[in-house]
């Protein structure tokens, strides 16, 4: 059985399960998305693309972009950054400020909001035009000019951004934030408002399945050792408060976003993006997670 058959089978099995969830409602743009949409795109290490359902429809990748921004500063900062943010899974919701206080301004990991803000802050220190350079980078590793920043989504996030603003000032009070809050938040909301389809998103994760080398950019994006470490971080921290459950049921390094997308990799095999807007109460797409669980059950290889 080849990948195309498998993802189609998974697609239909999930559709038949009639899973229910709720689309994100904190901004109108996400609330208005058609909740029925569901797509899967798998990209193998030769660049072959397999797709099913709404896999060519662009969607808001939201927090999945945190993997891209992390990658952009990973090779530049290496050790320095580890004094500013940890890599431990969090036992609290993604936007909790309590744990940040308890841990004295050092975010518990890179994917909770406070940690991602530190990464974006570091990125603003290193790049002249950070927002454009993030787009350029993702375009490069997807092998295509595919990135579109939805300005309406960005503005909407901004106008509901009090909590992230609070997190940024809180980090600043602990001297763990170098650039002006407004400036960093603008970059942060921009990269969270990126829209891509499943194919391009899966391609942009390909280097993580390939020991750091992107066949689309045709260059080594991260060293082999760094690529493995990003995967380790995704496995332990990529699914908010549900990372353990995802490792347990699926066992692939991945990252989810509140737009209903999940991007994941099976090292040395393939990268994959699944999208469906309805979320479970932990903020992860119900269909995407089920699809990945069924997929790993069907495949003869596993991380473990």
Q: Which residues contact its own copies (rule: CB under 8 A)?
A: 86-92, 96-99, 101-102, 108-109, 162-163, 165-170, 172-173, 225, 227-229, 231-233, 235-237, 241-245, 247-249, 251, 253, 267, 297, 302-304
Minimum distance from CB of 4 to its own copies (Å)?
24
- Cα–Cα distance measured from residue 65 to residue 178, given in angstroms and rounded to the nearest whole number: 21
Asked about 83 being catalytic, the answer comes back as no
What Rg value do the Cα atoms of the chain yield, rounded?
18
Tell whether 90 is in a known binding site: no
> What span, in angstroms and rounded, lies between the C-alpha atoms of 277 and 275?
7
Q: Which residues, including other chains, have CB under 8 Å from residue 114's CB and lie 6 or more apart?
A: 97, 100, 107, 167, 170, 171
Residue 188 falls in the annotated catalytic set = yes
Q: Which is nearer to its own copies, 5 or 88 (CB)?
A: 88
Closer residue to its own copies in complex, CB, 17/26: 26
Q: Which residue has the tokens 């109460």?
A: 281
Complex with its own copies: residue 15 or 165, whichever CB lies closer: 165
Please identify which of the residues 11, 50, 55, 240 carries the catalytic annotation.
Answer: 240
CB of residue 223 to its own copies, shortest distance in Å: 12
**Closest to 287 in 3D by CA, of 299, 273, 274:** 274
240 known member of a binding site: yes
The residue among 255, 173, 157 whose CA lies nearest residue 208 is 255
The CA distance from 108 to 115, in Å, is 7
Minimum distance between the CB of residue 100 and its own copies, rounded to whole angstroms?
8
- Output 5 or 297, the one with its CB closest to its own copies: 297
Nearer to its own copies, 109 or 276 (CB): 109
Q: How far is the CB of 166 from its own copies (least distance, A)?
A: 4
Whether residue 245 is annotated as binding a ligand: the answer is: no
Catalytic residue among 153, 188, 206, 271: 188
* CB nearer its own copies, residue 150 or residue 176: 176
Was 258 annotated as part of a binding site?
Answer: yes
According to the annotation, is 150 in a ligand binding site? no
* Residue tagged active-site, from 55, 66, 114, 181: 66
Assess contact for 261 and 62: CB atoms under 8 A: yes
State both tokens at 227: 């690529």
Minimum Å gap between C-beta 264 and its own copies is 12
**Rounded CA gap, 94 and 104, in Å?**
17
* Alpha-carbon span 74 to 69, nearest angstrom: 8
3-state secondary structure of 302: coil
d(C-alpha 227, C-alpha 164), whole Å: 28
Nearest approach, Cβ of 171 to its own copies (angstroms)? 8
| 113 annotated binding-site participant | yes
Q: Is 66 a catalytic residue?
A: yes
Q: Which residue is it, tokens 């400020």?
A: 97
Q: Is 248 a catalytic residue?
A: no
If you count them, how many residues does the chain have? 304
Catalytic residue of the set 181, 258, 262, 265: 258
* Catalytically active residues, by annotation: 63, 66, 188, 240, 258
Residues in binding site for substrate: 63, 113, 157, 164, 188, 240, 258
Residues in binding site: 63, 113, 157, 164, 188, 240, 258
């Amino acid at each position: 059985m080849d990948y195309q058959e498998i993802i189609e089978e998974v697609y239909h099995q999930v559709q038949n399960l009639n899973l229910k969830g709720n689309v994100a409602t904190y901004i109108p743009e996400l609330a208005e998305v058609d909740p029925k949409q569901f797509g899967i795109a798998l990209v193998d290490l030769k660049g072959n693309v397999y797709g099913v359902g709404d896999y060519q429809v662009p969607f808001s990748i939201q927090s999945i972009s945190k993997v891209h921004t992390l990658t952009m500063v990973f090779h530049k900062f290496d050790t320095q950054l580890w004094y500013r943010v940890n890599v431990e899974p969090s036992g609290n919701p993604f936007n909790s400020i309590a744990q940040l206080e308890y841990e004295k301004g050092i975010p518990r990991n890179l994917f909770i909001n406070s940690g991602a803000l530190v990464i974006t802050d570091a990125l603003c220190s290193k790049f002249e035009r950070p927002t454009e350079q993030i787009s350029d980078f993702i375009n490069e590793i997807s092998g295509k000019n595919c990135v579109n920043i939805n300005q309406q989504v960005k503005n909407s996030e901004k106008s509901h951004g009090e909590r992230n603003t609070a997190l940024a000032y809180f980090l600043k009070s602990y001297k763990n934030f170098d650039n002006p809050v407004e400036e960093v938040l603008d970059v942060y909301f921009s990269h969270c408002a990126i829209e891509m389809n499943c194919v391009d998103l899966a391609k942009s994760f390909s280097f993580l399945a390939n020991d750091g080398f992107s066949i689309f950019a045709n260059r080594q994006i991260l060293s082999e050792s760094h690529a493995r470490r990003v995967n380790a971080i995704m496995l332990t921290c990529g699914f908010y408060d549900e990372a353990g459950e995802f490792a347990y049921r699926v066992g692939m390094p991945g990252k989810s976003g509140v737009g209903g997308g999940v991007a994941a990799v099976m090292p040395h095999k393939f990268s994959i993006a699944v999208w469906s807007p309805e979320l479970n109460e932990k903020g992860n797409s119900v269909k995407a997670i089920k699809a990945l669980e069924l997929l790993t059950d069907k495949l003869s290889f596993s991380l473990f």
